[in-house]
Structure 1
């Protein structure tokens, strides 16, 4: 089994897709790359042909959970990163992942910090990412990051883990990892479920990803139709009593301005 693969989820005709793929091809340690979509188009086919990347098409209506499971299942490797088409990966992403796995062979999740891009420029300071970095502090205690309460602790006040930065140990986690009914909180709920399973969460806190915030992002759409608020409140309800949930959601509503 190959050590790692990027499964790029392409949705419609993103102007950022090609830049994402280029960042994957520039990895200091080469990795398999596949391009997956449920919205095939000449645009996506052209990019796949240009870079000689296998293009896999999922039949059926586009759906984030099914699209992610398809990409995850199609990747034939021990670790799978579901690469988001809007984002860019630092050249040592795979190198750091494999170094961590060599040291911690029970690692089920690899992730890390990120730098926010607005438009085409890195943001100077992002308060939300600074807070998330603080929330991820327990994962720096790698000697105990296999304990369920440590893994859950970084999820108690929201999802502090950046989804596109994640590499999942498919060998240990099995097929079709994403079973959550949520759209926005799909990754948060998945990590919450994973926190109760055997295995270690490892975080490389130095930025390993450029995370792009823009007007067409799914996150913004979920804010607009209020599904983000409903799903986040539901997630907090799994971990906190109702009065605490109300307080947490009060502050979370303010964080939505990041996407305005």
Structure 2
């Protein structure tokens, strides 16, 4: 089995898809790249042909959970990164992942920091990401990052991990990986479940990816239809008593302004 694959999840005709593909092909250590979509189009097909990327079509209604599980399933490798079509990856992402894979054979999740792109420009300071860095501090203690309470600690005040940076150990975690009913909190719910399983979470605390914020992003849509607030509140209720949830949601809803 190959060590790593990027499985791009493509939805409709993103103007950023080609840039994402090019960042994956520019890796210092090459890995497999596949593209999966439930909304095939001439645009997606042309890019796959141009860059010689296998394209897999999932039939049925589009939804994030099933699309991600399909991409995860189609990737034939030990580690799988579900690449989001709007984002860019640092050229040493795979190299860094494989360095830690060699050092920590029990690693079930690899992740890292990220920088934010707004209006096609790198944002200078993002308060949300700064707070998430603080929340991820326990993962810097890699000698104990296999302990369940350490893994859960980074998820108690929200999801401090950016999903597109993650590489999942398919060999250890099996499939389906995503079983959550949520649309927005899908990744948070999944990571919380994974924190109870054996294996190590490893984080490289520097930007390994550039996360793009734009008007068509799913995060923006989830804020607009209030599903983000509802799902985050439900996740907090699983962890904290109601008075604490109320305080946490007060600050979380203020953070939504980052996407305006």
**What range is the shorter-chain TM-score in?**
over 0.9
Distance 1:236 1:86 in 2: 28
Please give the secondary structure, in 2, of the residue aligned with 1:188.
Answer: helix
Distance 1:90 1:176 in 2: 28
Please give the secondary structure, in 1, of the residue aligned with 2:239.
Answer: coil
Distance 1:95 1:140 in 2: 19
Q: Unpaired segments of 5 or more residues in structure 1?
A: none
Q: Unpaired segments of 5 or more residues in structure 2?
A: none
Distance 1:175 1:241 in 2: 32
Distance 2:160 2:257 in 1: 17
Identify the residue that residue 152 of structure 1 maps to in structure 2: 152
Alignment root-mean-square deviation, CA: 0.4
Identify the residue that residue 142 of structure 2 maps to in structure 1: 142
Displacement of 1:230? 0.4
The number of aligned residues is 260
Identify the residue that residue 217 of structure 1 maps to in structure 2: 217
Displacement of 1:119? 1.9
Distance 1:152 1:211 in 2: 24
Distance 2:35 2:176 in 1: 17
Distance 2:233 2:175 in 1: 28
Distance 2:176 2:89 in 1: 24
| Matched ranges for 1:182-193 at <5 A | 182-193=182-193
Identify the residue that residue 258 of structure 1 maps to in structure 2: 258
Identify the residue that residue 119 of structure 1 maps to in structure 2: 119
Distance 1:105 1:245 in 2: 37
Please give the secondary structure, in 2, of the residue aligned with 1:7.
Answer: strand
Please give the secondary structure, in 2, of the residue aligned with 1:22.
Answer: helix
Distance 2:8 2:209 in 1: 14
Distance 1:100 1:214 in 2: 32
Displacement of 1:248? 0.2
Identify the residue that residue 170 of structure 2 maps to in structure 1: 170
TM-score by length of 2: 1.00
Identify the residue that residue 40 of structure 1 maps to in structure 2: 40
Displacement of 1:206? 1.1
Q: Does 1:62 align with 2:62?
A: yes
Distance 1:119 1:194 in 2: 34
Q: Write out per-residue CA displacement over residues 18-68 of structure 1, whole angstroms, 9 at most, x where no aligned residue.
A: 000000000000000000000000010000000010000000000100000
Distance 1:250 1:212 in 2: 25
Please list every run of at least 4 consecutive aligned residues from structure 1 whose deviation after the TM superposition is greater than 4 angstroms. none
